[in-house]
Chains A and B, each alone.
Chain A
Amino acid sequence: MKDTSPAASQQTTTRSAKRQAAVSPALFRFREASVLIAFLVLCLFFWWRNPDVFLKPANLAVIMRFIATFGMLAMGEVLVIITRGIDLSVGSMTAFTGVVTAWLILKGIGGLLPPMGIIPTILIVLTIGVLVGIWHGLFVTKLGIPPFIITLGTWLIARGLAAYITRGYPQVFPSEHPFLVLGQGTVFSIPISFLILLAVGVIIHIILNHTALGYRIYAVGGNIDAARLSGVNVDRVRIFCYATSGFLAALTGIILASRLGQGTPTVGSAYELWGIAAAVIGGTSLMGGEGTVIGAILGAAIVGVMQNGMVLLNISSYLQDVILGAVLVVAVVYDTLRRRQSGR
């Protein structure tokens, strides 16, 4: 390098860089930290008000199953929202995939195929989820259809199909059916569904933070033109996000069917909104480019603990919705103000 700038200034830059680097990780985690603190405060509050019930393994299992459902959907939303999209189909998709799961295991395909094994069924249903996600992604990227609209279409279609297949009646598993372990079983009194959430969460966290794909997802969300001009295949990145959201919706549908012991066309109503709410409470920005798996799971945890706690406190279920809505607004306002403040 010909341009030898003063070595002294160079050194101070490097030195201050090191000092700052030590500080910045803490700052980086700040957003998740504040969500975590809010979560812990909520837990302490409900434990204080309900010392007998709240920490009982059975109650904790209820909470964890709840987090498993909404955390899973929230992770899908996080991916899609980072790329400035939205996926409204996931609630209906849980019903549709749940119905298909029960139907394949119990009946097979309309007389053509005999009832299928659990593993092949799960694989088929997960594939359906991925295909539906790719379908969304193709419409969004290749045709420029707003994600809100195309996923709203699936929101109706999936719900309608679920009801049509079952003629409105739930497909009930016999008790003790081995499939029910997935949603009802526990390992060391931790629900299996919660363990699945953690495993999937770790994988998506690694994808987002330790693979080129993850870096590209954030780049596409932050500035799609700059990403394209940097050689990022922006369409493929966005399709991946929708496909993952579809996959997670199908996984949630399977787990819900197992937990309820039936495939029901009415399950999962408005779950897409709870998923979005959990993502947003966990710090995902609807403007795109920001969001984490840890935030999504913590957001789901806050919603889960609040719902559970309010039930324990005998708060009217109507009032519960009012309180949760208020929490959502407060979280978003707080996050917006925080963002504005760090804008310097």
Chain B
Amino acid sequence: MSESEVILRLEGISKAFPGVRALNNVSLELRAGEVLALVGENGAGKSTLVKILSGAYRKDSGRIFLRGQETEIENPYHAQQLGISVIYQEFNLTPNQTVAANIFIGREPLRRGLGQRLRIVDRRTMEREAQKYLDRLGARISPTALVRDLSVAEQQMVEIAKALAVNAQILIMDEPTSALGEDDVEMLFKVVRSLKEQGISVIFITHRLEEVFRIADRVVVLRDGLRVGDSPIDQITPDQIIHWMVGRELKDMFHKERAEIGAPLLEVRGLTRRGVVENVSFTLRRGEILGFAGLVGAGRTETVRMIFGADPKDAGEIYINGKRVDIRSPLDAIRAGIGLVPEDRGKQGLVLNLPVAENIGLPTLHQYIRARWFLLRSLLNKTAQAYVEKLNIRTPHLQQKVKFLSGGNQQKVVVARWLAAQPQVLIMDEPTRGIDVGAKAEVHALMSQLAQSGVGIIMISSELPEILGMSDRILVMCEGRVTAILEREEATQEIIMAYASGEEVARSVAEKPTD
């Protein structure tokens, strides 16, 4: 493609958060009218980069040049004035207002009314102008429609129109296709191509490699905060991109100890919730750690929540020790011997305002009851104290509110809760996300011990080294389906990532073995 003007240049951008280097010396260039795909695993630094460009974060070091001029992006409003607009996965729309009102939010055209005394919103002008932007996108949406009545794809068009209305030159789209059906994706790509022709540059963040090849002119790959690859799209293959995405050293930090794998413990057959999870089947054995790999949105969390009875299922059967169990609520699951360490410990795991002891005892309160009704605090404390010591939870005392503990210790409280319940099956959704290295190793050691004692563990993780390090077998999901169940020995980061990106990609990678 022709070399057009460089509109945005980043030089050596770095950003650190406590304990994490989110971006490390990242440089990139964006040309006018170019579609740049930004890809990378979860946590590679894509969103941090976007947030720096949108003014939500300040960079620690590095320089940003806009049309050759060095620029500090102060805040989101400033970014907008500089011509940078971001369309997040969660739309910033007010559902109960019209399309036109959303496009002009905060900048409504005004006119004088009531004898020049009042300035009132000029609704007609606003709607006419809104129509112009919608036409530019080829979107058939009425400016007077309410946003809440629109489809997701239409709402996305409103967001894009909103960006055009503030005269955006750089449009950043964060996973714009993740919530769209195939037809809507094609429509979106048409719009992106027409924006391109109008000279607007697009940074397109996606997990789906196939889309990269359909829409992008160039691809930049981030991994662990580093820019590891940058290539025009016509000079690269999917397996090279995957190699860039995962090509890190497998750090030897996983205390996986071999456990005896026993009889089938949990069998899931044909688990389905329409549009989310399709026909998921697998077997978990005693003493086994089954890793669930996949990209964000692949349906892993939804699958385990259905198994645990937290969300309804449309179809599917669950067997424990060969016996069919009917699980309609978490309580049923707990009675069947299943425990769940949820994804977000603050929102779904802990009652932050309650003490450590109560949080540990919550699913097992019935065990501390004496004389029919009375819950004996001493019994609860004894159990809680035992697990505080066993898991080395650092808390000044059992009555400490959980919100004052560190992330790692909070996570250990959630784990302790399920150890106290003595489940046969323990589901752990991102068990080490956001906790420090030491606590991580402790959680891993504990998982090994549990497996050795015969517990079957399902571990969802978005960190491939963790999946490879801890799992006996690895189930890979993509877009709600199981695309592979791999033995520990045959799995590599590349193979998992290929299956996580879809079967077509996996097949094409398999045809041309890497290295």
Q: How far is the CA of A290 from the CA of B354 in the complex (A)?
A: 9
Checking B352, B365, B390 against A223 with a beta-carbon cut-off of 8 angstroms, the contacting residue is: B352
Q: How far is the CA of A233 from the CA of B366 in the complex (A)?
A: 13
Q: Are A17 and B342 in contact (CB under 8 A)?
A: no
Q: Given A3-B392, A3-B442, A216-B365, are A230 and B417 neighbors across the interface (CB < 8 Å)? A: yes
Q: How far is the CA of A227 from the CA of B417 in the complex (A)?
A: 12
* B17 at the binding interface (Cβ < 8 Å): no
Q: Are B398 and A21 in contact (CB under 8 A)?
A: yes
Residues of chain A within 8 A of B390, CB atoms compared? 1
B63 vs chain A, min Cβ distance (A): 38
The contact string, 1 if C-beta is below 8 Å from chain B, for chain A 190-232, is 0000000000000000000011101110110011011111111
Residues of chain A within 8 A of B396, CB atoms compared? 13, 16-17, 20
* A175 at the binding interface (Cβ < 8 Å): no
Residues of chain A within 8 A of B333, CB atoms compared? 231
Select the residue from B331, B349, B362 with max chain A CB neighbours within 10 A.
Answer: B362
B394 vs chain A, min Cβ distance (A): 7
Q: Are B369 and A229 in contact (CB under 8 A)?
A: no
Q: Are B445 and A2 in contact (CB under 8 A)?
A: yes
Q: Are A226 and B392 in contact (CB under 8 A)?
A: no
* A10 at the binding interface (Cβ < 8 Å): yes
* B172 at the binding interface (Cβ < 8 Å): no
Checking A215, A218, A223, A229 against B310 with a beta-carbon cut-off of 8 angstroms, the contacting residue is: A229
Q: Given A16-B396, A24-B399, A223-B347, are A231 and B389 neighbors across the interface (CB < 8 Å)? A: no
Q: Are B392 and A232 in contact (CB under 8 A)?
A: no
Checking A17, A210, A289 against B375 with a beta-carbon cut-off of 8 angstroms, the contacting residue is: A210
Residues of chain A within 8 A of B469, CB atoms compared? none
Task: For chain A, residues 283 to 336, give those with C-beta under 8 angstroms from any C-beta of chain B.
Answer: 289-290
Q: How far is the CA of A218 from the CA of B399 in the complex (A)?
A: 14
Task: For chain B, residues 352 to 370, give those with C-beta under 8 angstroms from any C-beta of chain A.
Answer: 352-354, 358, 361-363, 365-366, 368-369
Q: How far is the CA of A205 from the CA of B412 in the complex (A)?
A: 31
Q: How far is the CA of A219 from the CA of B355 in the complex (A)?
A: 10
Q: Are A219 and B351 in contact (CB under 8 A)?
A: yes
* A48 at the binding interface (Cβ < 8 Å): no
Q: Given A223-B350, A229-B340, are A215 and B399 neighbors across the interface (CB < 8 Å)? A: no
* B456 at the binding interface (Cβ < 8 Å): no
Q: How far is the CA of A10 from the CA of B394 in the complex (A)?
A: 9
Q: How far is the CA of A227 from the CA of B392 in the complex (A)?
A: 24
- Give the nearest-CB partner of B351 in chain A: A222
- Give the nearest-CB partner of A207 in chain B: B373
Q: Are A212 and B397 in contact (CB under 8 A)?
A: no
Q: Are B330 and A222 in contact (CB under 8 A)?
A: no
Q: Given A212-B375, A225-B347, are A289 and B449 neighbors across the interface (CB < 8 Å)? A: no
Q: How far is the CA of A232 from the CA of B400 in the complex (A)?
A: 22
Q: Are B394 and A13 in contact (CB under 8 A)?
A: yes
* A28 at the binding interface (Cβ < 8 Å): yes
Q: Are A5 and B399 in contact (CB under 8 A)?
A: no
Residues of chain A within 8 A of B358, CB atoms compared? 215, 218-219
Residues of chain B within 8 A of A215, CB atoms compared? 358, 361-362, 365, 375
Q: Are A231 and B348 in contact (CB under 8 A)?
A: no
Residues of chain B within 8 A of A229, CB atoms compared? 308, 310, 330, 340, 342, 348-349
Checking A5, A17, A210, A223 against B351 with a beta-carbon cut-off of 8 angstroms, the contacting residue is: A223
The contact string, 1 if C-beta is below 8 Å from chain A, for chain B 387-422, is 001101011111110000000000000000100000
A95 vs chain B, min Cβ distance (A): 34
Residues of chain B within 8 A of A14, CB atoms compared? 389
13 residue pairs A–B, Cβ–Cβ below 8 Å: A2-B445, A2-B449, A3-B392, A3-B446, A17-B398, A212-B369, A218-B358, A219-B358, A222-B354, A225-B348, A230-B362, A230-B363, A290-B353
Q: Which residues does A use to contact B, with CB under 8 Å?
A: 1-3, 5, 10, 13-14, 16-18, 20-21, 24, 28, 210-212, 214-216, 218-219, 222-223, 225-233, 289-290
What 6 pairs across the A-B complex have the smallest Cβ distances? A222-B351, A212-B365, A231-B334, A20-B397, A230-B362, A17-B397
Known contacts A215-B365, A219-B354, A219-B362; 4 additional CB pairs below 8 A are A20-B397, A24-B397, A218-B358, A233-B329
